[in-house]
A = this chain, B = another copy of it.
């Protein structure tokens, strides 16, 4: 718990109770979460607060936003040392068509792609869809 406080402070985010709880919630979940998920988990909290908390976390590099093709923004904690903004650091995401969960495959980086002349890459997003470990029965 104290660790979370420290983590937030290191990223220059004030460790309020709400923020610590949200961080904790995301740390326990191993999958990417949507705003609605957090909303349901914390019935007490207002959606706006959660919304802005996620925005703040994202700006400060605490979480990264994931677009898994469901048209619902998901978020996941950045691994220690994750530099989302650097292209080489971009890992891919896996979305399960069965359980509808999205996970970070942190170890799997997005392969380098050669673009046509004139195109400049700044960011990349790769989502693989299929059946996840849990649902495939290994």
Contacts and interface: CB of A to CB of B under 8 A. Distances in A.
Interface stretch (A21-29, A47-55, A126-134): A126-134
Contacts of A72: 71
Contacts of A119: 94, 128, 130-133, 136
Nearest to A127: B125
Contact of A71 (B71, B111, B130, B133): B71
A114 B120 contact: no
A97 B114 CA distance: 18
Contacts of A111: 111, 113
A123 interface: yes
B130 A120 contact: yes
Contacts of A118: 132-134, 136, 138
Interface of A: 67, 69, 71-73, 92, 94, 97, 105, 107-108, 110-111, 113-134, 136, 138
14 contacts: A97-B122, A97-B123, A105-B115, A105-B116, A108-B115, A108-B116, A111-B113, A113-B128, A119-B132, A123-B128, A124-B126, A124-B128, A125-B125, A125-B127
